[in-house]
Amino acid sequence: MIEFLLDPQTWMALFTLTVLEIVLGIDNLVFLAIVSGRLPPHQQASARRIGLTAALVLRVGLLLTLTWIAQATTPIFTVADFAVSWRDVILGVGGLYLVYKGVMEIHEAVEGAGGEPGAKPAASYASVITQIMILDLVFSLDSIITAVGMTSNRPVMVAAIVIAILVMMFAAGSVSGFINKHPTVKMLALAFLILVGTALIADAAHFHIPREYLYFAIAFSIGVEALNLWQKARAERKAASGTP
């Protein structure tokens, strides 16, 4: 046990996998903010905690079924020379759901559920938790498969997942509050969901879009929006102080 803890390769693997899980969890944080925003304010934090805790249990359970993970990329049937695996099915369905969710949220934000912009029906507590759990598995599937390919050390993989989920729990409140406070940022987040959904569908079709391209696009958009928010805040301060 002591040799295991003192092994530099153990800590390097833990650091690498933790960073990987956190970076790939950015997509999940955006989805968390959007879906939990459908609940009353006093229920949002608990729904995020319960959903992420349940997702943690599912992630670890999936990770421990290494045999299934190894077979996830094995074709289960073929359509016109196109081999389809369970990974393709899961990513394709998850991607379609994200595109649907993003489009519907944008439509309701602009048109409103009852014809008034911004009017939206509240979601049920159980449905929000279920969505958090299911989409977390979709988001984490590739990272888990990558983790299995990087190391066979199960304790390290489990520890990386636990740390990443804890980081997400810590950051989820701030991210959700910021997104829901600024309508334009929320619209960017919804567009990001559609972008990620499209990438997942492309992955299911064996056409991989490098995630760096997606992250650069959203980072550039956030940078432009940050300048807009800074300019708006500066104008409001000038107006409050009476400065011309």
- The whole-number pLDDT of residue 179 equals 77
Residue 15 maps to a domain: yes
- The whole-number pLDDT of residue 112 equals 63
Residue 102 maps to a domain: yes
Q: Judge contact between 39 and 128, C-beta under 8 A.
A: yes
Which run of H or of E encompasses 25? none
Count the domains in the chain. 1
Residue 4 maps to a domain: no
Rounded Cα gap, residues 14 and 240, in angstroms? 50
Residue 3 maps to a domain: no
Angle between helices 86-110 and 183-204 (to 10 degrees): 160
Q: What is the pLDDT of residues 28-58, one digit of tens each?
A: 777 788 888 778 888 888 888 888 888 888 8
- The whole-number pLDDT of residue 81 equals 82
Residue 35 sits at the vertex; the CA angle it makes with 29 and 38, to the nearest 5 degrees, is 140
Name the average pLDDT for the chain.
Answer: 77
Q: Which amino acid is at 181?
A: K
Residue 133 maps to a domain: yes
* pLDDT band of 67, cuts 50, 70, 90: low
Q: Are strands 75-79 and 82-85 parallel, antiparallel or unpaired?
A: antiparallel
Residue 204 has a CB neighbour count (10 Å cut-off) of 20
Residue 78 maps to a domain: no
Q: Residue 71 pLDDT more than 70?
A: no
Instruction: Pull the structure tokens for residue 215.
Output: 């992250």
Range of the domain at 168: 9-73+84-241
Q: What is the pLDDT of residues 184-238, one digit of tens each?
A: 777 887 888 888 888 888 888 888 887 777 778 877 887 888 888 888 888 877 7
Residue 115 maps to a domain: yes
Spatial CA neighbour of 85 closest among 96, 74, 94, 95? 74
Q: Residue 242 pLDDT more than 70?
A: no
Q: What is the pLDDT of residues 107-123, one digit of tens each?
A: 877 776 554 545 455 56
Residue 49 maps to a domain: yes
First to last CA, the chain: 68
